[in-house]
């Protein structure tokens, strides 16, 4: 369920067609770079990822971006640490995301997840394109960022775009 609707009706509401990919993205980038719409979408998509990883939903089970979480010793704890980072970034901006929705909020002992510098570069370009269309003022505030930081759960390692990536 998403906002009280089945995944199928949520898909239809978001895209107009059942089963169409809504562009689900669990960003490797630090959430501080996201605009308001991106930050709230990141929170929602993280909660959806948590539900998938915890086995509470059948939708999006094969979503490629969940591969990196499934590879972790405790996938639900890893996505919980991810959600904590998103909630922390939201709090810094004065937003209050409901942390009670995080299944495992303790980040202590959760290992960092590797993300390649190629993946980070691709996401940075992707985000900048989205912001240019949706929030040009927000993008202007990021003009001095050459190498973006990643979400606190992640650690950057050398390498190409991740094999699970489907964005262009």
Mean of pLDDT values over 8-28: 49
- Given this structure, which CATH class describes domain 22-157? mainly alpha
Judged by DSSP in three states, 2 sits in: strand
Domain ranges of the chain: 22-157
Which pLDDT does position 128 carry in this prediction? 96
Which pLDDT does position 23 carry in this prediction? 58
Q: Which of 57-66, 71-80, 140-149 has the lowest mean pLDDT?
A: 57-66
The string of pLDDT tens digits covering residues 98-117 is 999 999 887 678 999 999 99
pTM confidence score? 0.83
Q: CA-CA distance, 137 to 30, in Å (whole number)?
A: 18
Q: CA-CA distance, 66 to 88, in Å (whole number)?
A: 21
Q: How buried is residue 81: exposed, middle or buried, by Cβ count under 10 Å (0-12/13-18/19+)? A: buried
* Local confidence band at 58 (pLDDT 50, 70, 90 cut-offs): confident
């Amino acid at each position: 369920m998403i906002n009280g609707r089945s995944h199928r009706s949520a898909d239809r509401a978001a895209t107009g067609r059942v089963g169409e990919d809504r562009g689900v993205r669990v960003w490797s980038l630090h959430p501080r770079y996201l605009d308001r719409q991106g930050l709230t979408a990141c929170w929602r998509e993280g909660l959806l990822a948590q539900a998938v990883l915890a086995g509470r939903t059948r939708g999006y089970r094969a979503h490629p971006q969940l591969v990196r979480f499934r590879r972790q010793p405790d996938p639900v704890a890893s996505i919980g640490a991810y959600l904590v980072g998103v909630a922390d970034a939201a709090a810094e901006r004065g937003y209050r995301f409901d942390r009670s929705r995080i299944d495992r909020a303790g980040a202590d002992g959760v290992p960092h997840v590797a993300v390649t510098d190629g993946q980070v570069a691709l996401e940075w370009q992707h985000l900048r394109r989205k912001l240019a269309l949706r929030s040009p003022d927000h993008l202007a505030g990021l003009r001095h960022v050459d190498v973006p930081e990643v979400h606190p759960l992640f650690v950057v390692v050398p390498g190409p775009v991740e094999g699970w990536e489907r964005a262009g």
